[in-house]
């Protein structure tokens, strides 16, 4: 990668890492599922100018339900329940190891030796985080964040089965993300009405001031549209093995931002477990020689980073 591309990759990782703090900052007084509906309603507006992905509607709906609605509905709810943004960013990286597992089960794709080691190391890291979970991280919030990672991994596998899904190569995941966002607002509103209640939605609308507006513009505009546009341009010019590892900066940025801006300092075990988890993700993403065998080629561990 050129220095310019490395700088752009660092910018994208920073946007995606700071995203977690911005979500927490803007969601005060807003029901999380309602906030998700608003975010993806804004993202869906880009379908007016972004070409439709060359994928079946079944794929678009599947990605929308799992990678968008499932991932972010569970993530927003876990943060609303008290999970620190930095810890949420770390736990969400479990999607890498979970994607390998889901692909092995659903697609019969055998992981490489490095990917197997990465799964084991990442699982150990998750166990350490769970064991050392501080009082500020409710058990339910941790479970919901891990379920968000699982939902993301299922969306990754659905996206993998669809292959390259954009008319223009550099639009890639951006095209699929924008059009799959059309699936999210109405189900998210329905779930919000069912789980959070009409009164909470009414209160959220009344409380929707400048902070939720700025947060929505950041998450929908900078993180999703700008972030994905840059990321896919980088993938168009460089090998994915050179670009994808930069995503590992996102949880570092998230944790640093949470400490500096929110005063949320993870405890020792959360920090150690998070570092072990990121180490497992790095191992799973490391390029390595793949043996020629009868199995299908394994997907990239991270097909669509969080944004």
Tens digits of residue pLDDT in 40-66: 999 999 999 988 887 788 989 998 999
**pLDDT for 306:** 57
Tens digits of residue pLDDT in 119-135: 788 778 777 776 666 55
Tens digits of residue pLDDT in 145-158: 999 999 988 988 88
Confidence of residue 231 (pLDDT cuts 50, 70, 90): confident
Q: Does residue 295 have a pLDDT over 50?
A: no
Instruction: Measure CA of the first residue to CA of the last residue in the chain; give whole Å.
Output: 22
Report how far residue 138's alpha carbon sits from residue 186's, in angstroms, rounded to the nearest whole number: 29
Instruction: Calculate the alpha carbon distances from 215 to 35, 220, 256, 257 in Å.
Output: 10, 8, 18, 15
> Which residue shows structure tokens 């409710």?
138
Nearest to 292 by CA among 112, 102, 114, 97: 112
**pLDDT for 164:** 46
Which tops the pLDDT comparison, 190 or 259?
190
Which tops the pLDDT comparison, 118 or 12?
12
Contact 204, 31 (CB under 8 A): yes
Measured over the CA atoms of residue 286, residue 92, residue 94 and residue 98, the dihedral's sign is negative
Tens digits of residue pLDDT in 192-208: 999 999 999 999 999 99
What is the mean predicted confidence (pLDDT) over 54-82? 92
**E strands, 80-218, in order:** none
**pLDDT for 144:** 94
Confidence of residue 32 (pLDDT cuts 50, 70, 90): very high
Confidence of residue 33 (pLDDT cuts 50, 70, 90): very high
What's this model's pTM, rounded to 2 decimal places?
A: 0.83
Average pLDDT along the chain: 81
Confidence of residue 307 (pLDDT cuts 50, 70, 90): low
Nearest to 284 by CA among 89, 96, 93: 96
**Percentage above 70 pLDDT, the chain:** 84
**pLDDT for 296:** 41
């Amino acid at each position: 990668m050129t220095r310019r591309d490395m700088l752009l990759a660092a910018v994208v990782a920073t946007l995606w890492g700071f995203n977690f703090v911005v979500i927490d900052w803007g969601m005060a007084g807003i029901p999380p599922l309602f906030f998700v509906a608003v975010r993806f309603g804004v993202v869906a507006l880009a379908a007016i100018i972004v070409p439709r992905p060359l994928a079946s509607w079944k794929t678009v709906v599947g990605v929308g339900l799992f990678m968008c609605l499932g991932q972010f509905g569970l993530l927003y709810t876990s943060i609303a329940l008290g999970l620190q943004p930095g810890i949420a960013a770390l736990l969400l990286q479990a999607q890498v190891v979970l994607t390998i597992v889901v692909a092995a089960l659903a697609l019969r794709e055998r992981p490489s030796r490095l990917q197997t080691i990465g799964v084991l190391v990442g699982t150990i890291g998750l166990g350490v985080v769970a064991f050392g979970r501080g009082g500020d991280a409710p058990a339910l919030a941790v479970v919901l964040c891990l379920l968000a990672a699982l939902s993301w991994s299922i969306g990754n596998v659905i996206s993998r089965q669809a292959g390259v899904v954009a008319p223009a190569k550099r639009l890639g995941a951006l095209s699929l993300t924008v059009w799959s966002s059309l699936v999210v607002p109405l189900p998210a509103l329905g779930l919000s009405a069912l789980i959070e209640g009409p009164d909470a939605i009414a209160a959220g609308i009344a409380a929707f001031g400048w902070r939720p507006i700025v947060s929505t513009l950041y998450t929908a505009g900078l993180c999703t549209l700008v972030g994905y546009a840059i990321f896919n341009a980088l993938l168009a010019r460089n090998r994915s093995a050179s670009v994808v590892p930069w995503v590992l900066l996102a949880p570092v940025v998230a944790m640093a931002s949470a400490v500096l801006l929110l005063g949320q300092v993870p405890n020792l075990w959360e920090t150690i477990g998070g570092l072990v988890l990121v180490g497992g993700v790095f191992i799973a993403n490391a390029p390595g020689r793949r043996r020629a065998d009868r199995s299908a080629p394994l997907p990239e561990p991270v097909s669509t980073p969080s944004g």
